[in-house]
Structures are given as structure tokens and as C-alpha cells.
Structure 1
Amino acid sequence: MHKKRRLALALGAGIAPLLVVTVPAAPANAHGYVSAPPSRQAQCAAGTVDCGPIKWEPQSVEGPKGLTSCSGGDSRFAELDNDAKGWRVTPIGHSQTFSWRLTARHATSTWQYFVGGRKVAEFNDGGARPPETVSHTVDFGSLTGRQKILAVWNIADTANAFYACIDVTIGG
């Protein structure tokens, strides 16, 4: 019995290094999203709106920098681009604090907020690694009514960004 155990241990010790080299590492699928007011992916994760696979990974809406879609160009999360899906709208004032929940803290260049394709705010982190939660207060000036806000987290050391859309009524 001891010979079989030693043989098994020897085989395992010999194979383990090969597995480490040949088995590809799984890509990281944890990053960040706007949690408050609830973004579309936060609504999916909470079960507020039925949304498919984004429910399980709201932090994974990543795509190349410069996109304007809620899905970050990722077809798995295309439902986030559907404005008629029944998203809950949050009433906010002319100034609102947005909170990001980060599950991987990437070096950050900027955080940007857009309404109707126009940038309304930008916060420069200069390559710093943010804490697990990040908040920004955005002043919407004279904007009023129902709006879709696109929030973008631009990563400093890659060509990618993370995207979140938040449905609000400003002055509501």
C-alpha cells in the first residue's frame, strides 16, 4: 500500500509543474460598476430588471476606451443598451454623488460622466489605484428631466475602460 501511495505522490509531483505551465489562466472578470444611484447592471444584479448573464457579473462591463454604449461593446451584455427594457429611474437633484463598487482596483487615469453624448464631468486620478469604493459628485447645471448618464472608468495601464449607464430624472 505504501508503494502505491509513493508512486502516486511521485507522479503527482511530476505532473503538477506541467499543468501549471500548460493550463491557461482564467481572465480576471472582476472590476467595477456604479452601485448608487443604481446603474443598469446594478439593477440586473439586484433582480430589479431581468437581464441575462450581466446579473452574475455586473462589474465586467469592459471595452475599449472611447465607446458610448452601456454594454461597453460586449455582446454578452447587449441588454444594457436597450433603453426600452424597463429600467428604474432614480430622481436626483442638479448635483448628485455617484458611487462605484470596485472588485479589482486598477490604476486609473480618469472617471468621466456623459449625458446625451456631452461630457459633464471628469475626475483625474493620475494613475493612482483607487480604494474599493469611489464617489464623485457631479453638477448637472441646467440639465433637467429624464436622462441616461454614461459613467466611464478609464484604466491607466490598458486600452480599456469600464462602462455603466444610470437612468435618472434630474430635478425630479
Structure 2
Amino acid sequence: MPKRAGVTALGLGLVAGATLLGTPTASSHGYTDTPISRQKLCANKTVSNCGQIQWEPQSAEGPKGFPAAGPADGRICAAGNAQFAELDDQRGGTWPATRVNSGQSYSFRWQFTANHSTTDFKYYVTKNGWDPTKPLTRAALDPQPFLTVAYNGARPPMTTVHQGAMPSGKTGRHMVLAVWTVNDTAMAFYSCSDVQF
């Protein structure tokens, strides 16, 4: 009799464990791949020593409300997540950079593993003279986004392209910060792309 009770308890434990493992987590995830983001460079193995983000490039999720709220300065690219801190490491300004042209039309592309009701997408760029060897801060960014795409609660397609112009008056190395604000949660997704004008 005690043996049967032990087997039953073990069986219930396995069922409970399987149920917990199968519980879905956040249902919205995404990243930019044009211009290629740091998390996608890690997932592609173009850049090494990336830690956990290489297996889940879609998970740089943090509080929304940027720039008034959101991740702390120096932790913006990782969305404030310590487990993705490699995204905030400037690596001496050596992240691979996408070549772009100042003031010219560009197709900004997001890839989603799960889409979600969306408030908007905003794109920021670093100021002229920013230091590409230091982690990204609000002070390093132009204060206004150079492109805003409103969604008003709609769900974007699993591959989403926003057509816009790269900011004018930029030369040299910069960073584009893309922020996807989820409509029906307190969260947003952050994606940093190194670019060369």
C-alpha cells in the first residue's frame, strides 16, 4: 500500500510538473533584423559571447513609456534585463554596423515570434558626437524619434516593414533604437542596431 501511494504521488508530481512546464509565458516577442539588431547578430552567431540572448533574440522586453520611463540608462539595449547584459556592452564600438544613407528612404523590418496588440513603433537615433564606446543613454539620443508608426491597438503582421527616411545630417557611426510598445500590457520591446552613415 505505501508503495502504491508513492507511485501515485510521483505520477501526480510528473503531471503537475508537465503542466507548469507547458504554461505559456508572455505572448508577444520580436526584434528588428533590418537594420540588423544586436540580438539578431547574436542569434546568427555573427557575434560571439552573447549569453542567453543568442537563443531568444525576441525577448528584449522591458517597461514601456520610453524615454520618460522604461529601462535605465546604460541598460536600454537589453531592455533592463540583466540576463541580456551583453547587448549593452559596446565592445569598444566594434559591433558590426549596417551601412545606411542619411536622409534616404529605408525599410525598417521587425520579425515577430508572436505578435500582439500594438500602440506604436518608435525609432530613435544617437546624436552627432555620441561616444560609441559607452553604453546607450537617453542623453546620447536625439530627444524625438525620427519615425513613429501608430498602430492604435492593431496587431502587426509576423514580418512587419515600416518605410521611412533615415535621419538627415548624420555621418559616421550611430545607433538606431527601435521601440515596439505593446498596447495591452505594461511592456515594450527594445532593439538596438549599429549603423554607419
Number of residue pairs aligned between Structure 1 and Structure 2: 159
The alignment status of 1:167 with 2:188, answered yes or no, reads no
The two structures have a TM-score, normalised by structure 1, of: 0.82
The alignment status of 1:153 with 2:180, answered yes or no, reads yes
Please say if residues 29 and 57 of structure 1, whose CA atoms lie closer than 8 Å, have aligned partners that are also in contact. no
Task: Identify which of 162, 167, 170 aligns with 1:136.
Answer: 162
Report deviation, 1:145. Answer: 1.9
5+ long unaligned stretches in structure 1: 1-10
Task: Tell me what 1:111 maps to.
Answer: 121
Task: Tell me what 1:42 maps to.
Answer: 40
Task: Tell me what 1:88 maps to.
Answer: 96
Report deviation, 1:29. Answer: 7.0
What is the CA–CA distance in structure 1 between the aligned matches of 2:81 and 2:38, rounded to whole Å?
15
Whichever structure has more strand as a proportion of its residues is 1
Q: CA RMSD in A?
A: 2.6
What is the CA–CA distance in structure 2 between the aligned matches of 1:76 and 1:107, rounded to whole Å?
26
- Which has more radius of gyration? 1
The alignment status of 1:97 with 2:133, answered yes or no, reads no
What is the CA–CA distance in structure 2 between the aligned matches of 1:29 and 1:71, rounded to whole Å?
19
- SS of residue paired to 1:103: strand
The two structures have a TM-score, normalised by structure 2, of: 0.72
5+ long unaligned stretches in structure 2: 1-7, 127-140
Task: Identify which of 79, 85, 95 aligns with 1:78.
Answer: 85
Q: What's the % identity of the aligned pairs?
A: 43
Counterpart amino acid of 1:59?
Answer: Q
